Amino acid sequence: MPLYDFECFECHAMFERMQRAPVPEPLCPACGGATRRAYLAAPAIHGAAAVGREQAVRSLPQCGKGCRCCP
């Protein structure tokens, strides 16, 4: 099942949701506002492969500019 990123129109919160397409966009979990699909984030990976992906992402250099791309 694909993993999508959503952005709230009201509070601009970003969140991820695994869902089949096409279905209505979910409500924002922070404020209950309407959302829009930002983009397809990545295929969902479960099991041992997911651990390797998480470690690889953490090892990437961060931009350090205070952007939303760095955790």
Q: Record the tokens describing residue 10, joined without a space.
A: 């009201």
pLDDT at 34: 93
Question: Tell me: the pLDDT tens digits for 3-21?
Answer: 888 889 999 898 988 887 7
Long-range contacts for 50-53 (Cβ within 8 Å, ≥24 apart)? none
> What does the pLDDT average to over 25-40?
86
Provide the CB-side half-sphere exposure for 31 (13 A, CA): 11
Could you give the CA distance from residue 61 to residue 69 in angstroms, rounded to a whole number?
Answer: 11
The whole-chain average pLDDT of the chain stands at 75
Whose tokens are 């694909």? That residue is 2
Q: What is the pTM of this model?
A: 0.51
pLDDT digits (tens, 9 = 90+) for 18-30: 887 777 889 999 9
Report the pLDDT averaged over residues 51-63: 67
